[in-house]
Structure 1
Amino acid sequence: MTTSNSASGPYAQRIEAAKRRLRDGAGDAIVLFPSNNLLYTTGFDESPGERHLFLVIPADGDPVFFAPALYETQLREETTVADLRTWTDSDDPADRLRTLLAELDLRDGHLLVDDEMWALFTQDLREAAPEATFGLASEVLADLRVRKDEAELDAMRRAADVADAVVDDLRALGDDAIGMSETALAEYVEDRLEAHGGSGVSFATIVGAGPNGAKPHYHHGETEIQPGEPVVLDFGTRVDGYPSDQTRTLVFGDEPDDTVREVHDLVREAQHAGVDAVEPGVTAADVDRAAREVIEDAGYGDEFIHRTGHGVGLDVHEEPFIVAGNDRDLEPGMVFSVEPGIYLPDEFGVRIEDLVVVTEDGCERLNTTDRGWKTAGPN
């Protein structure tokens, strides 16, 4: 990520916001592990490993990194956290952790532990703080992460631009896609994501041709693209750690039959209705209902078999979830997908997905490419 690591930068501000929520009664400290929560609060991006590496954010006092000594230079250069407590491979990290928690007066506190922390390290925390009670870091951080700041939105707009450019590339393929395998087309998508400035993929690319498109979480295989057959293409990349997530259902070669046209038009109408419903103060369930009613009224309600959308941030699936029963009010800065679909088993599927940002008076679509099925020109 490229945002500032200064003491007044976004990471320091996020830590301070977390501490305020702790002081408001959420707990005595947050204990993070290599994860997107750690990335969000410090900018430090590391995969979990066998060594104990924690960030302790107490309600009062400065945050502390508890880390292997081999990370010290990295942490000092890449984060604003000044208090580093390091241990070497000749130390007993569990014993050092016990000493640190005692020093911070947390051995009998209420600790909010990273939701993704491995059981091994959670157990060591419990043994180091035997009188403590435990909750999840998401009790504080999820509500902070759900509203994106300008640095996050800038990264997500750029990631969406990359996905849009690849949709244009796919349309330009036209008849050249006929006979390609789903896997070959997925590899083409991933190559173009990199070519347009993306960093890897944000999730496993989906290319579902014909009947495979009726499986919402199908990935891809050796099925060949056939003329006139709908192909569900769901993909994304990352820019500065933040993802894009876009779905288009395209038809290569011949024109589709009337049923495909009907279903595609219906899904496009439902997607528009869902996006049109987005504004501050409406609920996540309201958006789901706006999209779902279009499909139900046309008699395909039983074929729309998933929620209308999900929040997107450092995690591709996070709050808010756009689903019936979620009465959370939408707020400016929230980012989520609107992706209704209709799935006809053994025949075909259609899904259309864009990411939107809730604004002060409505929403901004992050994806702007045409949502029709044609692979040559607008429709």
Structure 2
Amino acid sequence: MQPTLDKLKDIPYPLTPIAEITERIARLQAKLAAAGLDGALVVQNVDLHYFSGTMQNAHLYIPAAGEAALFVWKSLARARHESPLRDVAPLRSPRDLPKLLAERGYTPARIGLELDVLAVNQFRSYERAFENVAFADCWPIIRSVRLVKSAWEVLQIERAGEISSAQISAVLNALHPGVTELEAAAAGEYAGRILGHEYVVRMRGLNNDLDVGYASSGPTGAYSTGMLTCNGGLGLSPSHAQGASWRHIQRGEPVLADFVGLYNGYLADQTRTLCLGNLPADLQRAYAATVQMQNAMVAAMRPGVTAEELFNIGTGLAAELGYSENIQGYGEQQVNFIGHGVGLELNEWPAIARGVTEPLQPGMVIALEPKLAFPGVGMVGIENTWLITAGQPRRLTTLPEELACVPA
């Protein structure tokens, strides 16, 4: 028997404040009206949570003007507990949506859908349910609302950063002769879990399954994967070809510890380079170069500067220092970004990438991750999550940036 929610009230279970939800919906409504849309039908988990406060199985209708309505298939009781919205109603079938909207006075002619992620079959079902309604992609509008984080959101990301720091520290403490990558990574995973890490790192898009964290050593650190990342690791099998492997970590080789902290749905991304014993001088210089690249980008990270300009600063300095073939992967495995937005998903906008002319704004949260790959040797690099402000950017991940080594 499932316990009633009132009997669970003493268990920590943070909810999204009503002021957050109200302000987000208001911003979306203004943008929907400007785009000539009568409303948006939100179904993707992260967007649903962002605008309603719950991730239960539901459809959220946000009109361009008027009160939002949440129609829940399962679990209605939990949705009513988790969401501050006033109109939370049961939904037997998506076919009932037009009738439910009409009962509330909504007869939309143009509805926005998240067409970047919606399956074709599901889209066709909406076409059948809503006669004489035109659909448009509202994901760019939703993305623009989620782009700038509130003070409350930044607090969640800072807490996620603390968890990420605990994860990487645990990996460092687990390094000893004979330890495997998997054992070191598991120490980091456990350290995060007991601090409240929710263990599901969300990335938008199809087949974007991502490890909680990487602890790759020596040559596996430079292994590429099918994921759009510059580092990947060997993994345990072709079914999960990323992250830690059964490889034993050796003395004097780089250990790349890249961990995503997660708290209350929000993420923080952090990477440090570790070592068992002493890292060779050439790799020490390479690691120092990645810190130099980061600092050059941070010095320019102000409102109005474009994402592409930051990318050019980082990669341009890499070329000046002799690492043009190594930056963000090696050779044909190089990726064309050096950072990314962070929030409820790990690949939020803007990408710090070639061709992205999005200007930075106060309230954006961005991870910068300059990394250098050396085939057969490994990868070194650094990553921090930053808050864009009107002045100096603020670092939200707080581990020391020095190369971290333990005696062998």
Q: Deviations over 1:118-152 (max 9, x none)?
A: 44432211112243222233222111111100111
* Aligned with 1:300 (options 323, 326, 336): 323
- Which residues of structure 1 form unaligned runs of 5+? none
Cα pair 2:39 2:61 within 8 Å, conserved: yes
User: TM-score under structure 1 normalisation?
Assistant: 0.89
For residues 63 and 155 of structure 1, what CA distance do their matches in structure 2 show? 25
Displacement of 1:330: 0.4
Cα pair 1:107 1:131 within 8 Å, conserved: no
User: TM-score under structure 2 normalisation?
Assistant: 0.83
**Structural mapping, 1:182-197, within 5 Å:** 182-197=181-196
- Point out the more displaced range, 54-63 or 367-376: 367-376
* Aligned with 1:81 (options 61, 80, 85): 85
Match of 2:132 in 1: 131
Cα pair 1:172 1:375 within 8 Å, conserved: no
Q: Is the aligned partner of 1:288 residue 2:311?
A: yes
Match of 1:116 in 2: 117
Cα pair 1:211 1:346 within 8 Å, conserved: yes
Displacement of 1:106: 4.1
Secondary structure class of the residue paired with 2:405: coil
* Aligned with 1:20 (options 6, 12, 30): 30
Match of 1:311 in 2: 341
Match of 2:72 in 1: 67
Match of 1:217 in 2: 232
For residues 353 and 259 of structure 1, what CA distance do their matches in structure 2 show? 20
For residues 108 and 52 of structure 2, what CA distance do their matches in structure 1 show? 24
Displacement of 1:167: 3.1
Displacement of 1:102: 5.0
Letter in 2 for 1:206: Y
- RMSD value over aligned CA atoms? 2.2
Number of aligned pairs?
362
For residues 91 and 173 of structure 2, what CA distance do their matches in structure 1 show? 55
Letter in 2 for 1:220: A
Q: Is the aligned partner of 1:55 residue 2:65?
A: no
Q: 1:195 to 1:102 in 2, by over 3 A?
A: closer
**Structural mapping, 1:107-186, within 5 Å:** 108-113=109-114, 115-173=116-174, 176-186=175-185
Q: Deviations over 1:71-118 (max 9, x none)?
A: 332222221322244244xxxx24412423555554532433364334
Cα pair 1:3 1:151 within 8 Å, conserved: no
Letter in 1 for 2:100: L
Displacement of 1:177: 2.6
Letter in 1 for 2:365: V
Displacement of 1:270: 1.0
Match of 2:375 in 1: 345
Match of 2:207 in 1: none
Q: Percent identity?
A: 26
Cα pair 2:113 2:136 within 8 Å, conserved: yes
Secondary structure class of the residue paired with 2:325: helix
For residues 397 and 96 of structure 2, what CA distance do their matches in structure 1 show? 49
Letter in 2 for 1:65: L
Cα pair 1:233 1:248 within 8 Å, conserved: yes
